[in-house]
Structure 1
Amino acid sequence: MSSLYDFATWEPLLRLLRTAHAERLAAPGGFVAGSIGRGWSSVVTRASGRREEFDAIERVREALTAAGVDDVSFVVEIPPSGKAVLHVFDPGPAVDAPLGNAHPGALTLVEGAVPEPWRRLPEPSPGARPAPSVDLALLERTLRERIPEAIGATEAEIAAAEERLGVALPEELKVLYRVTRARWEDWGEDYDVADRVFDAVGFELGSLDRLAVGDKWRPSFRWEQAATKAVQTLPDAAVQDLVDSPGWIVIGDSGGGDRVAVDLTPGPRGHLGQIIVLDHEQSIGACLFAESLTELVTGPERDWYGGHRRDKPPVTAMIHHQALRSVEAVAHPDLEVLQFGVWDEEPFSLAPVLGLPRLRTLTAYPGTLADPLEIGRLTGLEFLQLPPADWRVLLDVGAVPRSLAAAAITTRGDEDPRLVYALANELLALRDRPPVTETLIEGELGPLPA
């Protein structure tokens, strides 16, 4: 058996936890919970020496790596006698890692399922045309004047890139790479030459050999966050609001981690071949940077920052005590995401949103829903996040929606993770998904010194 499940692996950490939480652990039914991943932990030991805490946690991390496990949660009971009982939970492939506590992340009920925004493809733009500013001769002349020593790509190299990508490169991009193929080896590892290319084009140009379709560098999604997002391309948008597009050809970097791309699937008011920036901290959307490469190269310097996207009503709605205060106020045919936050008044009926054609995500804080069984009439839900009591109502009568692709359990932080994981396994069992495994480890720490 892996050392991950040896008492000796956990003993240094358990001793620190007992010292830090002695009063809580000594109380009847008292426990301490936490989670540890290969590069993070939610453990609080209050150890006087940070090295002591680091070494204790690292001991568990090394065992995680050896066992091929990404992360675990745990619950430990240590009564005054010193007999430690440790429950270790391995979430397995169907459950996301905890978010800062010991409770499970979202449960993927359908293998391989992704949230709707991640499935959205760009709308066709057959009428899109290059911008009036496109001037191939001016673009080439300007680039050759700025970087006369550059080595350009051959027609065969450009054709090979097109074949690899499966897309025809726009003419401006071909002109750019005919002037410089932007290979590091061509510059002899000379940073001054690289800087001149950066200055000439206005961004850190990637080599022709490294062109990529779509943005593979964006943050990976977590269901409980991604399911509450919505893509929403407005009629006056230059760029389609998407997670990714087969028409985004990534050609470089802003110098600050944001990707620069040529856009072949522009929005209603955009231009074919426009230059966009994909924020590395955002999972959805892109900002227009220039209407063409010609404008970017020959025009004035510009600010990379284009502002963060915002989900706009009526597509998403949050009801809580400091904002919207009624379901009627958000009931709109375009509503996709409905969230109930902190609320201390009478709970809500879902009646006003029953039958809405696009409602796919519902999340609720404890005590916000008057009748959880109304959820059964929301036939298009793909993601549902509820507190344990509301899930219990649905499970007891077999009313968990069959349409769900993923689910999550809302916790306030004080719930016993053992009960939450048991509930998670009930939900996973409905779809024959791999369960969370629980391993019981026992050992003696001895009584605390007087």
Structure 2
Amino acid sequence: MPGLHDFATWQPLLRLLRAAHAETLDTPGGHVSGQISLGAWSVPLPWRDPEPGQASLVSDHQDEFDAVGTVVEALEEGGVDEVSFVVEGSSAPGGVRLHLIDLGPSAEPGIASAHPGTLLLADCALPEPARRLPEAVTDRAPAPSADPELLRRTLLERLPDAVGATDQELAEAEARLGMAMPPELATLYRTLRGRYEDWHDDQDPFDVVGCELLPLDQVYVADAASRHVLWRFGALDAVETWPEDAVQGLVGSPGWIVFGDNGGGDRIAVDLTPGPDGHLGQVIIISHEENIGADLVADSLTDMVVHGQDGGREIRRVTRPPLVAHVNHASVPSVEAAAHPGLEVLSIGVLRQKPVSLAPVLGLPRLRALAAYPGTLADPREISALTGLEYLALPHAEWRVLVDAGAVPTGLLAADIQGHRPQDNPLHTIALADEILALFGRPPIAGVTVLEGAVL
């Protein structure tokens, strides 16, 4: 089978792209780009509306599915997760020039885009929220409702034929987890080990336990490493835990023991590092759609299983200056209004005013991340005075000003070139990315392979 870097692998897709974008590719400097991975793809081919009264079918786009499928097979064969590409016209009749982009270790992939994602300016660096460990909880106690014996009796009443885990199986699980199971969780698995073959047709685990129970050998610790957070999302968020919080607002914790699922991909865990208003061993839910935090489900496993508690309890929020400020026409009105000593993240969006100065936030002790839309900064060179920045996201033009002025903050751990327009060529973004990477002694984007041929 032709490999990923063989023109024949790409020829069916290039033929479709050439036909759909003939005018663009025949224009000097014209290009189209996309990204293909093992599980998804983003290619600029037109959508074909189905016949009136009919649903859209795979067969309506079979040529695209087949062409992309050939590339996916080459990815699988080569052990590659994804590839980005740029297509330009060539001087040969019906010809195209294909650029295959290998980001290497210096950048995260773009999201549905051939433009590189976050530039990684230091080895193994993580956004600050992913580095945050839980606060000490030595004064927390289990909830008054926690009752392992009541939990055991209730489970046996509902499931008189339940099969529990053995002491050896529990010991093996605890050795794998690196900690002893809290009493309620150990009781749950001693009574109900959670294997699929143990369930009868008339028994729904959700009805019995309140969640889809994981088998004992699949229980795991949801620490920060288990919840992979891309820099572009994690850096622009902040860990917040206040006195009224039952759950610490963390990416993950060595005290979050996952034992179930809500059926939609959100994980259910016992929490051994609760917030100031929480209980040791409370049950929490970790959303798969969020990067930080978890929500309270019940004060104890007994509450969840025996009493059917599944909504936590109301928390009265105290108004405080935000750690993450979004300055735009619909939110925080100005940089001055956003500035306060605790500010960690400043994001400047669409404004209905002249470009703004960063003077009000210069010298703030905790400001670590800045993102700005095109044309919103009066003088991008002011950024050089933000010596505490570890993440910076700017459009191409603003980066150009910083690089040319020698004003890129030296303490950055990661950076994004953002605000791409459809007409922006990813190859130009890669050239700028290599300049930024060089400032930090990082290897350039690993390589661009150029293939050329005819597709008509």
Specify if TM > 0.5: yes
Partner of 2:106: 94
1:301: how far off? Answer: 5.3
Q: Distance in 2 between matches of 1:83 and 1:76?
A: 9
Q: Does 1:135 align with 2:143?
A: no
Partner of 1:397: 405
Q: 1:274 to 1:420 in 2, by over 3 A?
A: same
Q: Distance in 2 between matches of 1:3 and 1:158?
A: 48
Q: Does 1:263 align with 2:271?
A: yes
Q: What TM-score does the superposition give when structure 1 sets the normalisation length?
A: 0.89
Q: Which amino acid aligns with 2:78?
A: A
* Alignment gaps of 5+ in structure 1: none
1:123: how far off? Answer: 0.4
Partner of 1:331: 339
Partner of 1:34: 34
* Alignment gaps of 5+ in structure 2: 49-59
Q: Distance in 2 between matches of 1:139 and 1:47?
A: 55
1:232: how far off? Answer: 0.6
Partner of 1:18: 18
Q: Distance in 1 between matches of 2:147 and 2:8?
A: 70
Q: Which amino acid aligns with 1:443?
A: G
Q: Distance in 2 between matches of 1:154 and 1:35?
A: 49
Q: Does 1:106 align with 2:118?
A: yes
Q: Distance in 2 between matches of 1:202 and 1:23?
A: 58
Answer whether contact 1:135 1:294 (CA < 8 A) is retained.
yes
1:312: how far off? Answer: 8.1
What SS class does the counterpart of residue 84 from structure 2 fall into? strand
Q: Does 1:171 align with 2:201?
A: no
Answer whether contact 2:246 2:276 (CA < 8 A) is retained.
yes
1:366: how far off? Answer: 1.0
Higher mean C-alpha deviation, range 175-184 or range 281-290: 175-184
Q: 1:159 to 1:65 in 2, by over 3 A?
A: closer
Q: Which amino acid aligns with 1:442?
A: E
Find the partner of 2:417 among 398, 409, 414. Answer: 409
1:78: how far off? Answer: 4.3
What SS class does the counterpart of residue 118 from structure 1 fall into? helix
1:336: how far off? Answer: 0.9
Q: Deviations over 1:346-405 (max 9, x none)?
A: 111111111111111111111111111111111111111111121112222332212111
Q: Distance in 2 between matches of 1:137 and 1:61?
A: 53
Find the partner of 1:282 among 290, 295, 308. Answer: 290
Partner of 1:220: 228
Answer whether contact 1:218 1:281 (CA < 8 A) is retained.
no
1:103: how far off? Answer: 1.4
Q: 1:99 to 1:151 in 2, by over 3 A?
A: closer
Higher mean C-alpha deviation, range 16-25 or range 216-225: 216-225
Answer whether contact 1:25 1:79 (CA < 8 A) is retained.
no
Partner of 2:241: 233
Answer whether contact 1:240 1:265 (CA < 8 A) is retained.
yes
Answer whether contact 1:315 1:335 (CA < 8 A) is retained.
yes
1:421: how far off? Answer: 0.9
Answer whether contact 1:75 1:418 (CA < 8 A) is retained.
no
Answer whether contact 1:215 1:250 (CA < 8 A) is retained.
no
Q: Distance in 2 between matches of 1:94 and 1:328?
A: 35
Find the partner of 1:427 among 423, 433, 436. Answer: 436
1:328: how far off? Answer: 0.3
Q: 1:394 to 1:209 in 2, by over 3 A?
A: same
Higher mean C-alpha deviation, range 434-443 or range 261-270: 434-443
Residues 44-123 of structure 1 aligned to structure 2 (within 5 Å): 44-46=44-46, 50-69=61-80, 70-78=82-90, 81-123=93-135
What SS class does the counterpart of residue 236 from structure 1 fall into? coil
Residues 307-346 of structure 1 aligned to structure 2 (within 5 Å): 313-343=321-351, 345-346=353-354
Please give the root-mean-square deviation of Cα atoms over the aligned residues, in Å: 2.8
Q: Which amino acid aligns with 2:425?
A: D
> How many pairs are equivalent?
440
Q: Deviations over 1:389-424 (max 9, x none)?
A: 211122223322121111110133222222111001
Q: 1:370 to 1:29 in 2, by over 3 A?
A: same
Answer whether contact 2:267 2:285 (CA < 8 A) is retained.
yes
1:50: how far off? Answer: 1.3
Q: What TM-score does the superposition give when structure 2 sets the normalisation length?
A: 0.88
Answer whether contact 2:92 2:454 (CA < 8 A) is retained.
no
Answer whether contact 2:297 2:309 (CA < 8 A) is retained.
no
Find the partner of 2:138 among 112, 117, 126. Answer: 126
Higher mean C-alpha deviation, range 337-346 or range 352-361: 337-346
Q: Deviations over 1:122-171 (max 9, x none)?
A: 10011101111123332232222222222333444433433332222222
Q: 1:152 to 1:99 in 2, by over 3 A?
A: closer
Partner of 2:377: 369
1:80: how far off? Answer: 8.3
Higher mean C-alpha deviation, range 227-236 or range 39-48: 39-48
Find the partner of 1:294 among 291, 302, 305. Answer: 302
Answer whether contact 1:219 1:282 (CA < 8 A) is retained.
no
Q: Distance in 2 between matches of 1:47 and 1:287?
A: 40
Q: Deviations over 1:262-305 (max 9, x none)?
A: 11100000001111111222222111111112222221454599
Partner of 1:192: 202
Q: Distance in 1 between matches of 2:293 and 2:74?
A: 39
Q: Which amino acid aligns with 1:209?
A: D
Q: 1:225 to 1:146 in 2, by over 3 A?
A: same
Q: Deviations over 1:232-286 (max 9, x none)?
A: 1121000111111111111122233221111110000000111111122222211
Q: Does 1:442 align with 2:452?
A: yes
Q: Which amino acid aligns with 2:388?
A: G
Q: Which amino acid aligns with 1:317?
A: A
1:32: how far off? Answer: 2.2
Q: 1:180 to 1:37 in 2, by over 3 A?
A: closer
Q: 1:207 to 1:312 in 2, by over 3 A?
A: farther
What SS class does the counterpart of residue 235 from structure 1 fall into? coil
Q: Distance in 2 between matches of 1:110 and 1:243?
A: 21
Q: Distance in 2 between matches of 1:77 and 1:326?
A: 45
Q: Which amino acid aligns with 1:231?
A: V
Q: Distance in 2 between matches of 1:102 and 1:143?
A: 53
Q: 1:142 to 1:347 in 2, by over 3 A?
A: same
